Chain A
Amino acid sequence: MKFNKEIKNELIELLEKKNIGLEGNILKIIDTSDDPNFAKYVEDCKEKDKETRKKRLDITKQVQEKNKELLEVNAENERIMEELQSTLKEVEDAKITFEVQNRELVAWKQDNERISLELQQEMAKSELARIEAEEAKTAAVNDLDVLQKKKQTELIGNIVKIALGVIISIGIITTFMYILALLINKDTQMIGSTWSNMLGILLTNAFSIIGTIMGVKYSGKEDKE
């Protein structure tokens, strides 16, 4: 690219008076081979442009670095936030689990209390049944004892009745035979002695039986006591 003399002078004057010069890649395509003054102008502009670009590049790099740091911080913050949210979720999950477990424990406790109460009631019933059973057993034992005594008494009564019956019967028969012998004038010596012996024996035996019975009766009373 080539400029005419007038433009070149205007550009040089603008740089000298107002410090305004050409910038950028246009400086790289300007032909300055025929004008040393303008070549110096272009070189000055290039230097100025280079300085400006260096400064801008440094600043841009700094901004880029800061930007990168901010992005890293932001990423770290996001990571921490995610961790916090994750932890919060875990805590909430744990809270829900605890609540569920707590509800289960309360239900379990209530069940236990109910079962314990039922057990106590059953134990009370069982104790009552045991007492009733013991009482029934005692009653049964007593009934058996009474029955045994009754049977015994009945047996004794029967023995006494039979024995007395036998004694009285023998006594009556012997007495009848003796009286008959007396009435028909038969020899009574033998029947008389027999009658008296028999009566004595019978009486003795009768008293012996009674004595035995009484003895057994008293013996049973002592055992019972």
Chain B
Amino acid sequence: MIDSLMLVDDENLFHLVFEDACSLLDISLSLKSLSSSDEAAKLFEKWFKGDGSDKPECVFVDLNIIGSSFDGIELIRKINFEYGNNVVIGIISSSNEPEEQAKAIQAGAQFWIIKSDDIEPRLEQFKEDYEGYKNRTAPFKVYK
């Protein structure tokens, strides 16, 4: 089970869906949901400069975060290349564009989960693959 998880998504309703799905599937113990990539970047910057003990273990980022200064791929790039990396991070989006997925890989994303009504089976698969992501042995995967 993941100790702490962060979701960055502009859709507040999805926060509830994700929280309940994660709880039902015993994916994580704690979940922090944010609505903007700016807010997430600030937190990671703080953790990078501080001790980072309360930093989440895994981060799910939406591709297009409305109301933010930059998108999910840019947030992943910042976390991986500016704020010390060391988290399992990937995209959760309704988009399935190979071009965007290629950009996400470049930014250091480890997975891509297609967001749909039936999110639980994909999260269950992700839970099974999680150890691979944690020890950096699993390749980039798209959960359709």
A interface with B by C-beta (< 8 Å): 24-25, 28-29, 49-50, 53-54, 56-57, 60-61, 63-65, 67
Contact = CB atoms under 8 A, between A and B. Distances in A.
A25 B20 CA distance: 11
Contact of B24 (A29, A50, A63): A50
A54 B19 CA distance: 11
A55 B105 CA distance: 36
Query: Which of B23, B28, B29, B117 has the largest number of chain A CB atoms within 10 A?
Result: B23
A60 to B, nearest CB: 5
Given A50-B24, A57-B24, A29 B29 contact: yes
B13 A67 contact: yes
Nearest to A53: B20
Contacts of A53: 20, 23-24
B117 A61 contact: yes
Given A53-B23, A61-B17, A67-B13, 18 more contacts: A25-B29, A25-B30, A29-B29, A53-B20, A53-B24, A54-B20, A54-B24, A56-B16, A57-B16, A57-B17, A57-B21, A60-B16, A61-B117, A63-B13, A64-B13, A64-B14, A64-B117, A65-B117
B20 A56 contact: yes
A60 B17 contact: yes
Interface of B: 1, 11, 13-14, 16-17, 20-21, 23-24, 26, 28-30, 117
Contacts of B13: 60, 63-64, 67
Contact of B20 (A28, A29, A57, A63): A57
26 contacts: A25-B23, A25-B29, A25-B30, A28-B1, A29-B29, A49-B23, A50-B24, A53-B20, A53-B24, A54-B20, A54-B24, A56-B16, A57-B16, A57-B17, A57-B20, A57-B24, A60-B13, A60-B17, A60-B20, A61-B17, A63-B13, A64-B11, A64-B13, A64-B14, A65-B117, A67-B13
A25 B32 CA distance: 13
A24 to B, nearest CB: 7
Nearest 5 interchain pairs by C-beta: A57-B20, A60-B16, A53-B20, A64-B13, A25-B29
A64 B24 CA distance: 18
Nearest to A24: B23
Contact of B26 (A28, A56, A60, A63): A28
Most buried by A among B1, B13, B20, B29: B20
Nearest to B1: A28
Nearest to B118: A61
A64 B15 CA distance: 11
B28 to A, nearest CB: 8
Residue of A24, A28, A57 contacting most chain B CB atoms (<10 Å):
A57
A105 B54 CA distance: 80
A25 B4 CA distance: 11
B98 to A, nearest CB: 24
